[in-house]
Chain A
Amino acid sequence: MRRWLAFLLLAILSSAAGLPLLAARPQRVVSQAVGTDELLLALADPGQIAALSHIGRDVRFSVVAAEAKRFPALKDSDAESVLRFRPDLVLAASFTRPETLALLRRAGVRLVVLDRFDSLEDVYASLRILGRELGQEARAEALIAQCRARVQALAERLRGARPVRVLTAGAYPFTAGAGTTFQDLCDHAGALNVAAEAGLRGHAPTPSEKLLTWNAEVLVISGDRPDGSDARARLAEIPHYRALPAFKAGRFAVIPGALMSSVSHHRIDAYELLARALHPERLR
């Protein structure tokens, strides 16, 4: 009874002071996707995090793998694995299985589904949502400002540079056209995505014969090894890539896989990396 009274008093005081309800700040947040892991680690106090996704600690997919290893990982992506951590907030992505989301909702856990990550503005919006949910609005705003400054600085350096014609290539028989995170990467790194130029939207099946007519100057590949030797070996097995002049001349830009697929603010690292590869004279 006394504790309850104390809580009530605290609640009245904090709302009178315009502060968020202290107890409302979630203390056991579970993140289900690598993208939400990256955002959560950037904003939350370590004490607020109960568990992160399993992929979040895999260096091939996660930019924050080392950091994520300090926290428990979800065994699976199903509702039971999540509820085991008795979360007070669950972060999921649009691609989380709908059955899982339904079960979590039924369990009465607060659920935030982040479903837009095509552009930086989407990331900023996610950061704001998450900042509000975590009670870390100031941290979110600071991070967004920091990101904006870096993007701005990169744009300054690249101003007036001729965009380099690039194509993203991988053994996966799909190519990224307009409206993809790869397009976003190109837009910020002084690159022209030839697939988008040719009219491809989203991730479309690679038109193998037409690749030859697109005149890509540089192939952007994601490699698990820093020199991209693994990715290049894979491409060498596909006759359509092997025939491209850029391949023959060895003009590759290698982006680590985790960065290439990052849907968080960490993708700015990829912008800078690609810009440096394509415009070395402007970024030293």
Chain B
Amino acid sequence: MRARLAIPVLVALLVLAFLASLAFGELRLSYTQVLSALMGGGDDIARTVVRDFRLPRALVGMAAGAALGASGVVMQAFFRNPLASPGLLGVSSGGALGAVAVLALAPATGFAAATLWALPAASILGAFGATGAVLMLAQRGAGTERLLLSGVALNALLGAGTSFLLTTTAGHFEVNAQILFWLMGGLESRSWEHVWMGVPAIFVACLLLLPLGRAMDLLSLGEQSAQSLGVDVRRLRRHLIILSTVLTALATAVGGIIGFVGLVVPHMLRIAFGPDHRRLLPYSMLGGAAFLLACDLVTRTFPLGLRLGVVTSLIGGPFFLWLLRRPR
């Protein structure tokens, strides 16, 4: 009964968060101003703010949130571990390291090299590199435990690489500020370019993921059971890891490392609406999108440049602890 309400409620929350993202910001605009700016009317300033600042930011936030939510569901199903999340395999760290490497080279190569597209491209490369490395490390045996441990080790390694690059650019404040953007995530200064480079691909990856819900349900019974019920487990695992990597990589490429969305959102929705993956996947996409937009609203209205990754973690961290302490 509750599940029937899920889609309408989540869609309503998302629409609300999306409209709020367009309506609220530093500049006070009335609802009629926002509306007429969206339609292309009104004064130049309102039009620019709504159409070129807030709209792309909201779209990117929505897509990144959906990607992280979906990716979280996949990771938790894949590892059959409720604590798994997109950041676990080092995918996000790999993405950040890729972007940071381009930035760290920027003072030497001239900033022309660090163009709008080079950073996300490097980030995607880094994310895939990290996944490739984990898969290779874990190939023999390929048990989820081994994969998980490889991810933890790789995460630490990649984090060290990023920290090293951060120290080599000390003194170059602009570069450091941009590196922080990747490490703590954020949606500020997102433009239509970011929308084009991230949103359509995330949409397609989400669509490809949706039909895998039933197979994921079977996988959660255990690999052998799934196999005996006719699931090609190897193929399924490959699809899942590729799609979740693509989603995490794209989310990182347009928004930097945004922790905890992939962990928190699927759990909240699982508690509310049950563990069925056919439902959990679309719910987590909608819920992740709404959650990230809501967190972004907090960063925007907070006076002191609060980072998005900080907000999601401040909410996600206590939630994570609560999950661990909850009696089973």
**CB <8 Å contact, B189 and A230:** no
Q: Complex Cα distance A113/B56, Å?
A: 48
Determine the chain A residues whose CB is within 8 A of the CB of B45 once the complex forms.
212-213
CB distance from B225 to the nearest CB of A (A): 51
Tell me whether A230 and B177 are in contact in the complex, defined as CB-CB below 8 angstroms, given that A207-B26, A212-B49 are known contacts.
no
Nearest residue, chain B, Cβ from A207: B26
Residues of A within 8 A of B115 (CB): 233, 237
- Is residue A171 contacting chain B, with contact meaning CB distance below 8 A? yes
B178: CB under 8 A from chain A? yes
- With A209-B25, A213-B27, A230-B111 known as contacts, the answer to whether A243 contacts B52 (CB < 8 A) is yes
B173 at the interface (CB under 8 A from A): yes
- Give which listed residue, A61, A171, A230, A243, contacts B110 with CB less than 8 A: A230
CA distance A237 to B53 in the complex (A): 13
- A contact residues around B189 at 8 Å (CB): 173, 208, 237-240
Cβ contacts under 8 Å, B172 to chain A: 60
Asked if B321 is at the interface of the complex by the 8 Å CB criterion, the answer is no
Q: A210 and B26: CB pair below 8 A?
A: yes
Minimum CB–CB distance from B36 to chain A (whole Å) comes to: 17
Among candidates A172, A210, A233, residue contacting B174 with C-beta atoms closer than 8 Å = A172
- Is A226 part of the contact surface with B, judged by Cβ < 8 Å? no
Do A173 and B27 touch across chains, with their CB atoms under 8 A apart?
no
Known: A170-B174, A173-B177, A209-B49. A233 touches B111 (CB 8 A): yes
Are A208 and B53 interface neighbours, CB within 8 A? yes
A43 at the interface (CB under 8 A from B): no
Q: A208-B189, A213-B27 are in contact. Are A172 and B53 (CB under 8 A)?
A: no
For A60, A210, A237, the residue with the greatest tally of chain B CB atoms inside 10 Å of its CB is: A237
Write out, one digit per residue, whether chain A residues 214-246 have a CB within 8 A of any chain B CB (1) or not (0). 000000000000000010011001111011000
Given A173-B177, A212-B48: A230 and B27 interface contact (C-beta under 8 Å)? no
B8 within 8 A of A: no
Residue of B nearest to A213 (CB): B45
A209 to B174 Cα, complex, angstroms: 20
Q: Within 8 Å of chain A (Cβ to Cβ): is B12?
A: no
Task: Note all chain B residues with C-beta closer than 8 A to A60.
Answer: 107, 172
Q: Is A55 an interface residue (CB 8 A)?
A: yes
Q: Would you call A209 and B110 a contact (CB within 8 A)?
A: no
Interface residues on B, range: 20 to 34
B-contact bits for A130-174, CB 8 A (1 contact / 0 none):
000000000000000000000000000000000000000011111
Contacting residues, chain B, for A240 (C-beta < 8 A): 53, 189
A210-B27, A230-B111 are known contacts. Are A172 and B177 too (CB-CB below 8 A)?
yes
The distance from the CB of B258 to the nearest CB of chain A, in whole angstroms, is 17
Residues of B within 8 A of A170 (CB): 174
Question: 8 Å CB contacts to A: which residues of B96-134?
Answer: 107, 110-112, 115-116
Report the minimum CB–CB distance from A77 to chain B (whole Å).
Answer: 10
- Give the CA-CA distance A234 to B115 in the complex, in Å: 8
Q: A233-B112, A243-B52 are in contact. Are A171 and B25 (CB under 8 A)?
A: no
Question: Smallest CB–CB gap between A179 and chain B, Å?
Answer: 18
Residue of B nearest to A222 (CB): B174
B141, CB-defined interface residue at 8 Å: no
Cα distance, A242 to B27, chains bound together (Å): 17
The proximity string for B residues 230-267 relative to A, scoring 1 for CB distances below 8 Å and 0 otherwise, is 00000000000000000000000000000000000000
Is the C-beta of A46 less than 8 angstroms from some C-beta in chain B?
no
Q: Could you tell me which residues of chain B, from 161 to 207, have a CB within 8 Å of some CB in chain A?
A: 171-174, 177-178, 188-191
Residues A234 and B52 in contact in the complex (CB < 8 Å), given A173-B188, A210-B26, A213-B27: no
B5 close to A (CB within 8 Å)? no
**Bound form: Cα–Cα A171–B189 in Å:** 10
| CB < 8 Å neighbour of B112 from A172, A208, A230 | A230
Residue A250 CB within 8 A of the other chain? no
A212 to B25, CA, bound (A): 13
Across the interface, B178 reaches (CB within 8 A) one of A61, A171, A208, A210, namely A171
Distance in Å: Cβ of B161 to nearest Cβ of chain A: 22
Whose C-beta in chain B lies nearest to the C-beta of A170?
Answer: B174
Q: How far is the CB of B26 from chain A (nearest CB, A)?
A: 4
Closest B residue to A238 by beta carbon equals: B189
Chain B nearest CB from A254 CB (Å) reads 14
The answer to whether A55 and B191 touch across the interface, beta carbons within 8 angstroms, is no
What is the CA–CA distance of A210 and B46 in the complex, to the nearest angstrom? 10
Q: Are B27 and A172 in contact (CB under 8 A)?
A: no
6 smallest beta-carbon distances between A and B, as pairs: A205-B305, A209-B27, A239-B191, A209-B26, A171-B174, A172-B174
Additional 17 contacts, C-beta under 8 A, given A205-B305, A212-B27, A212-B48: A61-B171, A172-B174, A172-B177, A173-B177, A207-B26, A208-B26, A208-B53, A209-B27, A210-B27, A212-B49, A230-B110, A230-B111, A230-B112, A239-B56, A239-B189, A239-B191, A242-B191
Q: List 28 A-B contacts (CB under 8 A).
A: A58-B171, A170-B174, A171-B174, A171-B178, A172-B174, A173-B177, A173-B189, A207-B26, A208-B26, A208-B188, A208-B189, A209-B25, A209-B26, A209-B27, A209-B53, A210-B27, A212-B27, A212-B48, A212-B49, A230-B110, A234-B174, A237-B115, A237-B189, A237-B191, A239-B53, A239-B191, A243-B48, A243-B52
